[in-house]
Every structure is written in C-alpha cells, then in structure tokens.
Structure 1
Amino acid sequence: MTHDALVAFGANLGDGEAVFQEIETRFMRDFGKVRSSPLFRTKAVTLSAGSAPEPDYWNAVIQVQVPQNWKPGEFLDRLLALEKELGRIRTGSPQEHWSARTADLDLLLWDDQFLDAAPHLVLPHPMMAWRRFVLEPACRIVPDRLHPLTGQTLAEMLAVLKKREEREELTDGDPFLLWDSMEPVPQELLERSRMQKCPILARRWVCRNGESSETFRKLLQLLRKPPNTERTA
C-alpha cells in the first residue's frame, strides 16, 4: 500500500531541465514508482507593481507513490530538503513566496486528504485551482484525479480556467469562495465548496511567512482578472 502524492515542480533560475531530471532520478531512487508530465514553459508574474521581469519558468507535475507509513508533513519536509540540496535558499521573507527560484516543489495532493496545518501545510494545495501551469501538466498524467474539496476532476478545473481565459469581461462573479481571515475555514464553507464545485480562497491558507493583508488584497486583484495562459506565481 502507498500514498498517492502529486507534486508540482517549478524553476526559473539555472538549468531547469537538468534540475527536473535530477528530481525525477531522486524520486525514482527513493520511492520507485514515479510518473511525470512533460515540462511546460511559462511566464513569471509577481505581485509587485513595476518590478523587473523575471526569467520564464519550467513547470511540470510528478506523481509519486509514497510508502504507507509516511505522513504528508514528512514528505513535505523531504521536498523542502531536496529544494535546498538543489540550491533553493529560503529566507523566510514575505516576498520570497513570489520570487525566482532554482527549484520549487509544492505538494498538491496526498490521496484524497484535506488537511489544514497552516502555515506549514495545507492540502489540497490552496492555489492549484487558479494555476494553469499546475493544472495543465497535471492533466497530462492524472486528468481524472479528484480535488478533495470541490469534487471536480483536474480536467474539469482546467476547463473552467480555460473558459475564463476566453472572456474579455467576467460576469459570473469571483472564481472562488472567499475566506478573508486567519481563523480556520468553517465547515459550512467547506461544504459549499463541494456543493457549488467552487474552490476556496482563504487568507489563512495562502498568507505565509508573515505576508500581510495587503499581499492578500493584491492576490485577490490578480485572481479576479481573466487568467493569463503564461502566468506563474
């Protein structure tokens, strides 16, 4: 028996292709069964107005079968250690979450588990529903995988994102249920997410490393625009 983990890869400093190959090699050595999407090339986007352009990203998604005795927090720690080995330096600053990096490994899904251990770990990944650079590669390998909160397949979530991209003006409201608080998301909102097939954007889940309410406001503005097919963050 194993846990079915889905991991997002991103890099825009150094040789992203070589780093991705090294990560695949490490995963196969340590866990055996690994399945990877192709690499995608995407443009970088930051929350800071007027900031200098950053290099394009390499993005991909990897499915890893993790031994049954592992906990999701342990696996996340392994991902963070691997990032560090590959040259990622985490300073703990609020700006770091949106900055360039040699390797970024995000735990997207762990079986069908919902976990709120913010700020250390939230499952499913709290931003995956609005990231085409995550959903598109994920759909190359697990299009029928279900989002634990909304009950949608990843292919359905990608279709919603693409539909928004085709519109010049948005008339159907926000692409999320908003929870603008650092308190735990209430059960009734979790239930609405599944009933309405709409992901939750929770300040508790996405504001880490001392990020402020101003950062969250900028994120809201970004997500309320039609998604850019070359966006990454």
Structure 2
Amino acid sequence: MQTAGDETVITVYIGLGSNLAEPAMQVRRACEALGQLPESRLLACSSLYSSPPMGPPDQPDYINAVAALETTLSPHDLLAELQAIEQAQGRVRERRWGARTLDLDLLLYGDRQIDDQQLTVPHVGLPERAFVLYPLQEIAPTLVIPGQGPLADLVTRCPENGLQRYE
C-alpha cells in the first residue's frame, strides 16, 4: 500500500469475462475502459483465455482475463465504476450465470476482506475458478489471497477445466 497525497493507493484485481457480441473485443474494450477509471491506473491485463460456461451449458464459451489496477477509489465506488462499464458495453442481467456481453468482478481489493450486501472480497468463487486463477497467476505470480493463502497453492489445487489461452 502506498499513499498519494492523503489517499491510500490500493492494488486491486478485476476479473473480466464475456461470451456475447464478439467476446474478445468486449474484454479488450473493458481493459481499455479500466485504464480510464478516475483515481486509478491500469498496471496489467492478462492474456485472454477461453473457457466453457460455468452456468447453464446452453451458451457460448467465455473469453476471460484479469486486470490489475492501482486505485484510491473505495471498494464500493470501484464496484459502481465497474457496473457502469458493464452497462456501457450492453450488459443485461437476465439470469444468474447466463450469457453476457461483459462481466467485471472485483476479485481482490488489496489485502482487505469485505463481506456486505453489495460486495464480497476476495471474490467468493475465486478458489474454484480456473478462468480467474490462471490469468491472475500470469500477472501476479507471488500474490497471497487474503484468508486463502498463496495464489500458487490455489492454482495447484484447481484443474484447468477446459481453460485454454486464446489468441
């Protein structure tokens, strides 16, 4: 953690996913949009990965990535910004785990653990999701997940489940 003036700069990790309307383009555009967030700086965006849908099987495969940012935004302000990017790219919430133009998940907010009605960080599904763990390991191999231990250990215990590097 660093400080910028009076504000604390936090490193955060965002999961990106899409399986509609040119998914690779949707994820790339979202990564660019993350770089334009106020009070934030994009540090890295992983390679793109293709994975089978986690939810209902009657939908296309997903394209996923993970981005790292430095930000002074609060967790809830950052969440609101992520939801605004989703909406700008045509996100419609019709069914849980259904097809979508864009899904942005706040995976980690520094070393904080948050659990309230709007937000759970670290993201609740992180330990079981190859499409998050493998891209996260690509950009932050020595990361330690608050309350869960080293990222490398989580990756070792998580099968790839059809995950493939895209491109």
The TM-score with structure 2 as length reference comes to 0.86
Q: Is the 8 A contact 2:42 2:67 kept in 1?
A: no
Aligned to 1:220: none
Kindly provide the amino acid, as one letter, of the partner of residue 153 in structure 1.
P
Distance 1:7 1:107 in 2: 5
Of 149, 153, 162, 1:229 maps to: 162
State the Cα deviation string for residues 155-192 of structure 1 (Å, max 9, x = none).
21000113xx7xxxxxxxxxxxxxxxxxxxxxxxxxxx
Structure 2: tracts of 5 or more residues without a match = 4-8
Q: Is the 8 A contact 2:45 2:67 kept in 1?
A: yes
Structure 1: tracts of 5 or more residues without a match = 166-227
For 1:2-151, list aligned pairs within 5 A. 2-30=9-37, 31-46=40-55, 53-67=58-72, 70-91=73-94, 96-118=95-117, 120-150=118-148
Aligned residue pairs total: 155
Please state whether the residue corresponding to 1:140 is helix, strand or coil: helix
Q: Is the 8 A contact 1:27 1:34 kept in 2?
A: no
4+ residue segments displaced more than 2 Å = 29-34
Distance 2:124 2:29 in 1: 27
Q: Is the 8 A contact 2:109 2:121 kept in 1?
A: yes
State the Cα deviation string for residues 173-226 of structure 1 (Å, max 9, x = none).
xxxxxxxxxxxxxxxxxxxxxxxxxxxxxxxxxxxxxxxxxxxxxxxxxxxxxx
More strand as a share of residues? 2
Displacement after TM superposition at 1:79 (Å): 0.4
More helix as a share of residues? 1
